[in-house]
Amino acid sequence: MLQMKVCGDLVLRTVCEPVNQITPELLSTMDTMVNMMREQNGVGLAAPQVGFASRFLVMMDPDSETVYRMINPVIISRGEKSCTMEEGCLSVLGPDGLPVYANVTRPESVVVEWMDEQGVKKAAQMSGLPARIVQHETDHLDGKLFIDYLPAVRREMVMRKVRKYKR
């Protein structure tokens, strides 16, 4: 059983350590994370969200329903064009226990490199929704949350809702 960490938990603000060995525990943790992501209708989940200060994540491309299990992912380039999309996070919950959404502007496309669950190095260019998701999730590995990008007034509006969330 993994427990979802929510805003206020310090693990969400930790710069995570690289994974140096692919263990059966890591693989089963990632499987559990995929299940949690699906159950909560999420499209991504990063290790610190379930309490591990370690650089791995799972995500899904909602269009193709391709599931990625990424170990040590790195965004190696960002496109010049940016776009604004609504984002939410399974760790940023409002009083109803559901994610709070807000518009965030980010690069429209990125190139990401990672190691898959067999230890094989992978790379992909992503744009649109998957690019958005991989940026949001890799941010988690650096202790960053999407609310950090919001203008102060908007962020305060979100935080007011977050503070009303009761576990």
Per the structure block, which two tokens stand in for 26? Answer: 């890591």
Per the structure block, which two tokens stand in for 148? Answer: 């950090």
Smallest gap from residue 118 Cβ to Zn ion (A) = 26
- 50 forms part of the interface with Zn ion (CB under 5 A): no
Q: Where are the beta strands (DSSP E) in 1-65?
A: 44-46, 56-61
- 57 forms part of the interface with Zn ion (CB under 5 A): no
Q: Is 137 a catalytic residue?
A: yes
- 89 forms part of the interface with Zn ion (CB under 5 A): yes
Cα-Cα-Cα-Cα dihedral sign, residues 128, 129, 134, 135: positive
Cα-trace Rg, the chain: 15
- 33 forms part of the interface with Zn ion (CB under 5 A): no
- 150 forms part of the interface with Zn ion (CB under 5 A): no
Find the part of the chain contacting Zn ion (CB under 5 A) among 6-14, 17-25, 89-97, 119-127. 89-97
Residue nearest to Zn ion (CB): 89
- Residue 22 or 98: which CB sits closer to Zn ion? 98
C-alpha–C-alpha distance, residues 101 and 80, integer Å? 25
Active site residues: 137
